Amino acid sequence: MQRLCHHPYAHAWATAPSRRQSAVVKRAPATSRRGSTRAARVKRWSGPERAVDAECELIYGFHAAEEALRNPYRSIRRLLVTENALRRLAALPAGVSPQIVTPRDIARLLPADAVHQGVLVEAAPLPWPTLDELAGKRVLIALDQITDPHNVGAILRTAAAFAVAAAIVPIRHSPAMSGVLAKAASGAVEHVPLVAVRNLAEALIDLGERGYLRVGLDSQAASALEDAPLRDPLVLVLGAEGKGLRERVRQCCDLVARIDLPGSIRSLNVSNAAAIALSVVNRRLAPPRADRR
């Protein structure tokens, strides 16, 4: 998702309405991809008839684009797609008219190394929720200065798989909501909203006052996550590779725990650590089955 504004969060921070108030394209009833109505809406692209809107995001890659098209909160401005990719897409939302292009047409609008898989969606940014809107959510994650978009995208993909309600990130020292991040997330950016905060430590203090257990992850911690006294609501705090959690952020955690590893390597890529930690959290917090005595 190639964000082209001055700052990755500037527009959303200043102007974003609530998620329910975000503008949505008015859509007529959807039709089958093989139906005549859809065929009539498809038009051949004759080149870039206009420049990309600076307030829009570019979402490319098949899964990322497909999830964006399915998201009712997304305002879709334009869909560029090859004939082969169009046949793979599910029924399009009404009001979205695909423009048939060549792979080279899409590549001209993206960075040289972008793997677009024949589909590009131009869409308005999603609104950023606030901490107030997270009340009652069971599990959150907080990312402390994790700047690699591949890592953040992979973390969001895992977070979506484990039904994490949102990811809290600092406005500074976080990657832009780019096409690289969206493709790495494989559509998860449509399901795990980012909450941009000015100060992550202050946000954790706020969450603590709201009853959240704040659990920091550190490979050198004295106690193991498996043995930690977990409860919900919970926010799992992940630090950047190498630097780990900043001291102020660590001080705002109720406990800091490690992932026990049986092998000789004791540290993991942050996205892999997030996957293991969320698996432990999900299992430990799982409600008892009705038939369990």
233 is a domain residue: yes
CA distance 110 to 114: 6
β-sheet bridge partners, residue 58: 122
Cα-based distances in Å from 244 to 19, 72, 101, 286 = 32, 37, 44, 28
Average pLDDT rounded to a whole number, residues 46-71: 74
265 and 154 part of one domain? yes
> What pTM was estimated for this model as a whole?
0.75
Q: Which residue has the higher pLDDT, 104 or 179?
A: 104
Identity at 132, one-letter amino acid code: D
Q: Which of 89, 123, 157 is the last residue of a domain?
A: 123
Quote the DSSP letter at residue 30: P
Q: Are 157 and 272 in contact (CB under 8 A)?
A: no
Q: Per-residue confidence at 3, pLDDT binned at 50, 70, 90?
A: very low
Q: What is each CA distance from 280 to 249, 259, 275, 286, in whole angstroms?
A: 22, 9, 9, 10
165: domain CATH number is: 3.40.1280.10
Residue 261's pLDDT band, with cuts at 50, 70 and 90, is: confident
In a domain, 185, yes or no: yes
Q: Are 229 and 189 in contact (CB under 8 A)?
A: no
Secondary element (H or E) of residue 237: strand 234-239
- Together in a domain, 136 and 280: yes
Asked whether residue 15 is domain-assigned, the answer is no
CB-based contact 285:234 (threshold 8 Å): yes
212-235 pLDDT per residue, tens: 999 999 988 999 999 999 999 999
Q: What is residue 17's predicted lDDT score, i.e. its pLDDT?
A: 40
Residue 209 and residue 81 in one domain: no
18 occurs within a structural domain: no
Give domain status of residue 10, yes or no: no
pLDDT > 70 fraction of the chain, expressed in percent and rounded: 80
Domain that residue 31 falls in: 23-123
The residue from 123, 149, 182 where one domain ends is: 123
Do 138 and 276 share a structural domain?
Answer: yes
Q: Which pair of structure tokens corresponds to residue 225?
A: 């996550």
Domain end position, chosen among 123, 154, 189:
123
Whether residues 220 and 109 share a domain: the answer is no
Taking 80 as the threshold, does the pLDDT of residue 289 lie above it? Answer: no
What's the mean per-residue pLDDT of the chain?
80
Least confident of 58-62, 176-180, 196-200: 176-180
Instruction: Look at the chain and report how many structural domains it folds into.
Output: 2
CB contact at 8 A, 237 and 214: yes
Statement to judge: residues 137 and 117 lie in one domain = no
At 102, is the pLDDT very low, low, confident or very high (cuts 50, 70, 90)?
very high
How many other C-beta atoms are found inside a 10 Å radius of the C-beta of residue 110? 15
Q: Is the pLDDT of residue 292 over 90?
A: no
Residue 106 lies in a domain: yes
